Amino acid sequence: MQEQTNLKQIEIGTIDKQKLTPEKVKIVKVEIETVEKAKANKVVCYVEHPKATDEIKISSVKIEQGKDKVKVVGMWVNLDKDNKLDKNSATAVLLRFLGCKKIEDLVGKECSTAEDDGGYLCFRGY
């Protein structure tokens, strides 16, 4: 690890970070992460992107809401009174869109991506 004093001497770089464009990705691993700030669990998918050398993580989905409206929503694990995924949650919408019944069924599935308002990739669930 570099010394703290050396880090203070580093200049601003000139290389642009590679920006990934929306492409079809393959889900290779799924994890449930606890988000302490929200006190909730979120689905995090590790995906292979055709233009990335390493796996990337996606944890949000762009879904249709209403007739002509789409929005990006986090893939939260919201449970109903029967302790099953809330059927109207963004996670359930993506599962149905990809023909899955359980979160673990996402592994091996391919899904198109889109950009959210911040320029990050999310799943396209419609």
Q: What is the pLDDT of residues 100-113, one digit of tens each?
A: 999 999 999 999 99
Whether 53 maps to a domain, the answer reads yes
Does position 41 have pLDDT exceeding 90, yes or no?
A: yes
Instruction: Answer whether 75's CB lies under 8 Å from 43's CB.
Output: yes
Whether 61 maps to a domain, the answer reads yes
Whether 1 maps to a domain, the answer reads no
Q: Does 67 or 37 have the greater pLDDT score? A: 37
Does position 19 have pLDDT exceeding 90, yes or no?
A: no
Whether 9 maps to a domain, the answer reads no
What's the pLDDT score for residue 5?
Answer: 63
Whether 12 maps to a domain, the answer reads no
pLDDT band at 1 (very low <50, low <70, confident <90, very high): very low
Residue with the two structure tokens 């869109």? 97
Whether 78 maps to a domain, the answer reads yes
pLDDT band at 3 (very low <50, low <70, confident <90, very high): low
What's the pLDDT score for residue 96?
Answer: 97
Q: Give which of 113, 110, 109, 94 is closest to 22, Cα–Cα.
A: 113
Residue with the two structure tokens 């970070």? 17
Cα(5)–Cα(16) distance, rounded to whole angstroms?
Answer: 25
pLDDT band at 4 (very low <50, low <70, confident <90, very high): low
- β 70-74/60-64 pair status: antiparallel
Whether 118 maps to a domain, the answer reads yes
Number of domains observed in the structure of the chain: 1
